[in-house]
Chain A
């Protein structure tokens, strides 16, 4: 289980290959990549700067991964989140979950991402033609995280 907060880009293929190497119990790997869009709330976005709370960021993501491990069979997990200034088409975040079966891998990957959006201390500031603006938290992100608080059945 690994958490990395970094300015540098990442390569999904490299990270997945590293995770499955010498791990014959892994039967499924699910991944999610978040990417910078060129439009948000109707305005074009030139660049985006991500700020975070060093220390708490890593702790909060590790806690989210731990919670996922309590709900599903997770053999390994990796979260990489970039900080600093990014532009449209850049990768922002990577979540990879390895399990024996796809159901657990898919669910844990989505759960980690939904919780990260609402619990990990990152903040986005967009530069648009109207100037800089801090991105507002979305109600739909809260709703996406809250649905996991209902009982879920394990899919094998």
Chain B
């Protein structure tokens, strides 16, 4: 299973902050995972669309579209950060 986390505006738009996902056979990178989630349609299609300014982390390290994703990973999606 992959643990998926969503934060801030994204969490509100998707209506969930966390879920467990059985890794689809076609998903082995962050980019593929994002495309897979976008196929859910509705808010998912809008928020996960390629043009959206979205950041992501795999196992709590900032990641890019080609970062590998494996079973057991923690993957987080979030808007650009605004702390400080």
Residues of A with Cβ closer than 8 Å to B? 34, 50-53, 55-56, 59-60, 81, 92-93, 113, 116-125, 134-138, 141
Counted as pairs of residues, one from A and one from B, with CB atoms less than 8 Å apart, the total is 72
Given contacts A136-B80, A138-B82, 7 further A-B contacts (CB under 8 A): A53-B5, A55-B60, A56-B61, A60-B60, A119-B81, A122-B84, A125-B8
Task: Report yes or no: B60 in contact with A137, Cβ–Cβ below 8 A.
Answer: no
> Which residue of chain B has its CB nearest to the CB of A61?
B83
Q: Does B78 contact A (CB under 8 A)?
A: yes
Chain A residue nearest to B60 (CB atoms) is A56
Q: Chain B 6-44 against A: per-residue CB contact (8 Å), 1 yes, 0 no?
A: 011100000000000000000000000000000000000
Q: Which of A116, A117, A134 contacts B8 (CB 8 A)?
A: A134
Checking A55, A113, A120 against B81 with a beta-carbon cut-off of 8 angstroms, the contacting residue is A120
User: Does A135 lie within 8 Å of B84, measured CB to CB?
Assistant: no
Q: Given A59-B60, A121-B78, A123-B78, decide whether A53 and B7 contact each other with a Cβ distance below 8 A.
A: yes
Task: Tell me whether B60 and A136 are in contact (CB under 8 A).
Answer: no
A116-B84, A123-B7, A125-B8 are known contacts. Are A53 and B79 too (CB-CB below 8 A)? no
A121:B7 contact, CB within 8 angstroms: yes
Please name all residues of chain A whose beta carbon is closer than 8 Å to the beta carbon of B82 when the two chains form the complex. Answer: 117, 122-124, 134-138
B84 near A53 with CB under 8 A, answer no
How many chain B residues touch A (Cβ–Cβ < 8 Å)?
16
B84 contacts A92, C-beta separation under 8 Å: yes
For B78, B79, B81, B83, which residue has the most chain A Cβ atoms within 10 angstroms? B83
Top 5 closest pairs, chain A to chain B, by CB = A122-B83, A137-B80, A123-B8, A56-B60, A117-B84
> Bound state CA distance, A135 and B81, in angstroms?
9
Known: A53-B60, A56-B60. A134 touches B81 (CB 8 A): no
Which B residues are CB-close (under 8 A) to A93? Answer: 83-84
**CB-defined contacts of A124 to chain B, threshold 8 Å:** 82-83
Q: Are A123 and B57 in touch, CB under 8 angstroms?
A: no
B84 and A134 form a contact (CB under 8 A): no
Query: Given A53-B7, A56-B57, is A120 in contact with B79 using a C-beta cutoff of 8 Å?
Result: no
The CA of A116 and the CA of B81, in the complex, are separated in Å by 9
The contact string, 1 if C-beta is below 8 Å from chain A, for chain B 46-68, is: 00000000000100111000000
